[in-house]
């Protein structure tokens, strides 16, 4: 059975990194952007990382510019923005595509394991859904991720156990991480 440990990704310097290096840890894998309405998620993500990293938790950050060009900078510019503005210390990888023919295989796998189930109820969520559908029309059946800051929770065995859309309350994400860490 395939797990996230079967994937190799690229770090900010272009070097291959095997996700097997993270075996035995609880992971939160996130596609991010620096100019998005959800960019403030970096604050609770970094707080969660500081609180739980010594308990076997890692956040893996993958910048992506496929959603309304909200991560247009170079990998170094994005990293500098995140460390200066939000004090992020968790690993940030190379910029990737999460949708379409050039989608990173990791994100295609994550989204296949935990498909999109909606942004939730309410006017804002409905508006985001409409905007995301227009944005992702070009990707057809390869529109794996609907928007920036989609988060995937992975257990210590490398299995994808939850998907959180950017509209999910970060306290709920933190509670799920804490519950997984306590197992």
| Residues annotated as catalytic (active site), given as ranges | 36
For residues 132 and 31, give the distance between their C-alpha atoms in angstroms, rounded to a whole number: 15
Closest alpha carbon to 110 in 164, 56, 179, 170: 164
Q: Which residues pair with 162 in a beta bridge?
A: 153
Question: Do β-strands 26-32 and 57-63 pair in parallel, antiparallel, or remain unpaired?
Answer: parallel
Task: Please answer whether residues 13 and 139 qualify as being in contact, where contact means their C-beta atoms are separated by less than 8 angstroms.
Answer: no
Q: Which residues pair with 63 in a beta bridge?
A: 32
């Amino acid at each position: 059975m395939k797990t996230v440990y079967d994937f190799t990704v690229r770090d900010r310097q272009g070097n291959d990194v095997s996700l097997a290096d993270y075996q035995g840890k609880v992971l939160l894998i996130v596609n991010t952007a620096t100019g998005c309405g959800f960019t403030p998620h970096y604050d609770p993500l970094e707080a969660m990382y500081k609180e739980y990293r010594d308990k076997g938790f890692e956040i893996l950050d993958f910048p992506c510019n496929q959603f309304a060009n909200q991560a247009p900078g170079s990998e170094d510019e994005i990293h500098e923005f995140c460390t200066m503005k939000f004090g992020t210390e968790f690993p940030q990888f190379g910029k990737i595509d999460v949708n379409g023919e050039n989608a990173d295989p990791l994100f295609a796998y994550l989204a296949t394991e935990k498909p999109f189930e909606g942004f939730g109820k309410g006017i804002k969520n409905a508006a985001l859904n409409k905007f995301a559908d227009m944005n992702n029309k070009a990707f057809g059946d390869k529109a794996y991720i609907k928007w920036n800051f989609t988060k995937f929770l992975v257990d210590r065995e490398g299995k994808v156990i939850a998907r959180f859309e950017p509209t999910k309350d970060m306290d709920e994400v933190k509670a799920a991480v804490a519950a997984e860490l306590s197992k």
